[in-house]
Chains A and B, each alone.
Chain A
């Protein structure tokens, strides 16, 4: 979770202030991405909102990419976690708008990715770091890296190799 209360943060993580919605949010926020298990769906900005409809929680999530196969697993995990925490009968809705962007990934999420050996995405807009500076090797920290393949092990990643330490690594693409 990022403590920064920036405009991007408010869009990326529309966390309810209090009440049962907040309790449902906090429970759903513990669910991780099955393909990148160091990241929670809250870190990713995939958790989009929580409502209580006729006494039952409704959780909105958004896919990273249109065909992301992790959505079904995330949906099951949210329902299961909420049931364990005393919110049975939860429904998970998939919302497409606004379209997900890597700009919604939290600072904590970016750090966790780097520690996990995946180069985090740069900022697309509004940040201090402009695109095109290169991708930093998560192992040795060198910026002397090159793209090996534009598509990687999942939709959201590309394959890079470090020219200094020679190690290949995944890069979470700016999207």
Chain B
């Protein structure tokens, strides 16, 4: 398509450029406070999308390459919306935020940066984060901030479908063979220490109570979604202590650095490259 026609930038008149620089009716700019909140949510989605994308051509079956790739694409779409909105407060693009911040500037919760592990471990992470995203976006759809509300209202239909996918696999693996059950239990145990952090205080959310969703209030609806699935899969709730967390403050596990290095190297090696 792009080869058949000139790109939009090639047909921009001076007036159109001026309109882009100072758009009269383009999407609203975020305030600094709301942008900080959106940045955390955007980083959660971006880092998860990057993790999921590396399953493409590596999943146990072709259909799962496609499924995890599609889930990554949806999640990347949420990240793009959130980071574009966050960047609007600081005159930065989504790419500026994704490719030119260092590890300590990322605000993702640590569960999203967890390594993929085997397929069962990824499914365990998908089960937890899809249930979390579902309850988060259902509430954020009622945000006083219209842009956040619009992003969430669109995302919720997608993450509910992701939750279905993770639920089906969780049950199938847990009640499958002895080996698949062993792996599903191990995967859930590997992810479990990072669950509590999803509901820990987020200063950026506290700063904008009307726009944001208070994380602590999500625990109850999250449990109501997740625990019946574990019950159906005959999986015990792991009795493992939570890690300290701190992702929203820029504290990360050793897993994030290599992920960012791979994600950012091309953009940093070739600044301004477009693809």
Q: Smallest distance from the beta carbon of A151 to chain B beta carbons, Å?
A: 4
User: Which residue of the partner chain B has the closest CB to A58?
Assistant: B25
**Chain A residues closer than 8 Å to B69, beta-carbon distance:** 151
Cβ A149 vs Cβ B63 within 8 A? yes
Q: How far, in whole Å, are A79 and B20 apart by their CA atoms in the complex? A: 15
Whether the pair B155, A79 counts as a contact (CB closer than 8 A) is no
Stretch at the interface among A19-27, A65-73, A104-112, A113-121: A65-73
Residues of B within 8 A of A95 (CB): 150
B154 within 8 A of A: yes
CA distance A93 to B77 in the complex (A): 16
Interface of A is mostly: loop
A89 touches B13 (CB 8 A): yes
Q: Are A97 and B24 in contact (CB under 8 A)?
A: no
**B179 CB–A CB distance under 8 Å:** no
Shortest Cβ distance from residue B74 to the other chain A in the assembled complex, whole angstroms: 5
- Could you tell me if B67 and A151 are in contact, using CB atoms closer than 8 angstroms? yes
- Give the CA-CA distance A150 to B67 in the complex, in Å: 7
Interface residues of B in 147-200 (CB under 8 A from A): 147, 149-151, 153-155, 157-158, 161, 164-165, 168
Residue of B nearest to A124 (CB): B157
Q: Which of A51, A89, A153 contacts B12 (CB 8 A)?
A: A89
Q: Is the CB of B157 within 8 A of A96?
A: no
CB distance from A95 to the nearest CB of B (A): 8
* Number of chain A residues close to chain B: CB under 8 A: 41
The residues of A that contact B155 with a CB separation of less than 8 Å are: 66
With A66-B81, A96-B81, A99-B153 known to touch, is A89 a contact of B74 (CB < 8 Å)? Answer: no
Q: Note all chain B residues with C-beta closer than 8 A to A51.
A: 25
**Inter-chain contact A66/B74, CB cutoff 8 Å:** yes
Q: Is A17's beta carbon under 8 Å from chain B?
A: no
Interface string of A52-82 (1 = CB under 8 A from B): 0110101000010111110011011101100
A154 to B5, CA, bound (A): 24
Complex CA distance for A97 and B147, rounded to whole angstroms: 9
Which residues of chain A are near B2, meaning CB under 8 Å? 72-73, 76
Q: Which of A66, A69, A150, A153 gathers the greatest number of chain B CB atoms within 10 Å?
A: A66
Whether A80 pairs with B158 at a CB distance below 8 angstroms is: no
Mark A145-159 against chain B: 1 for CB-CB distance below 8 A, else 0. 000111111110001
Instruction: Kindly name the residue among B70, B75, B76 whose own CB sees the greatest number of chain A CB atoms within 10 A.
Output: B70
CB distance from A148 to the nearest CB of B (A): 7
B8 in the interface (beta carbon within 8 A): yes
Q: Which of B68-93 contact A (CB under 8 A)?
A: 69-71, 73-78, 80-81
* Residues A91 and B66 in contact, CB atoms below 8 Å apart: no
The yes or no answer to A175 lying at the interface (CB within 8 A) is: yes
CB distance A159 to B12 under 8 Å? no
Q: Which chain A positions have C-beta within 8 A of B7?
A: 76
B15 contact set on A, CB distance < 8 A: 54, 56, 89
A83 interface residue, CB < 8 Å from B? yes
Q: Is B21 an interface residue (CB 8 A)?
A: no
Cβ-neighbour of A56 out of B19, B67, B158, B165 (below 8 A): B19
A160 touches B (CB below 8 Å): no
> Are B66 and A149 within 8 A (Cβ)?
yes
List A123-175 residues whose CB lies under 8 Å from chain B. Answer: 148-155, 159, 175
Question: Which B residues contact A (CB, under 8 angstroms)?
Answer: 1-2, 4-8, 11-13, 15-16, 19-20, 24-27, 63, 66-67, 69-71, 73-78, 80-81, 146-147, 149-151, 153-155, 157-158, 161, 164-165, 168
Write the residues of chain A forming the contact surface with B, with a CB cutoff of 8 angstroms: 34, 51, 53-54, 56, 58, 63, 65-69, 72-73, 75-77, 79-80, 83, 88-89, 91-93, 95-100, 148-155, 159, 175
- 18 CB-based A-B contacts, threshold 8 Å: A54-B19, A56-B15, A63-B154, A65-B73, A76-B1, A77-B5, A79-B5, A80-B6, A88-B13, A97-B146, A98-B153, A99-B153, A149-B63, A150-B161, A151-B70, A151-B71, A155-B70, A155-B73
